Amino acid sequence: MQQQVKASDEFVTTVEKIDSALDGVVDHGSDDELFIASYLQGHFAVEARKLELDESASVEKLSQTMQQSLEQAFANNELEPADQQAVAALWQKLLNDF
């Protein structure tokens, strides 16, 4: 049986911190903030999970894959422009915080 390659502990810890920050919005955020955080968390969960299985995972790669995922969703008009801006701003804040 072949062992799966995993991302570094540092990457996994960063992912956990970002996920925890998104979860915290449930306890402290307004309805609008909850909507934005939940939307972002959906994309984050998919992209972060893929990278957790990649030994070359990095926050930079996560940033790139998240940007691509969000751009594709926004191009499909999944959110109103104001909500798109709020999601993008929250993602940038999380990247800067961790």
Distance, in Å, from the CA atom of 36 to the CA atom of 15, rounded to the nearest integer, reads: 18
For residues 62-70, give the mean pLDDT. 97
Neighbours of 13 (CB within 10 A): 12
| pTM of this structure | 0.89
Measure the N-to-C terminal CA separation of the chain; round to a whole number of Å: 35
- Binning pLDDT at 50, 70 and 90, where does residue 28 land? confident
pLDDT in tens, 33-50: 999 999 999 999 999 999
The model's confidence at residue 2, banded by pLDDT at 50, 70 and 90, is: very low
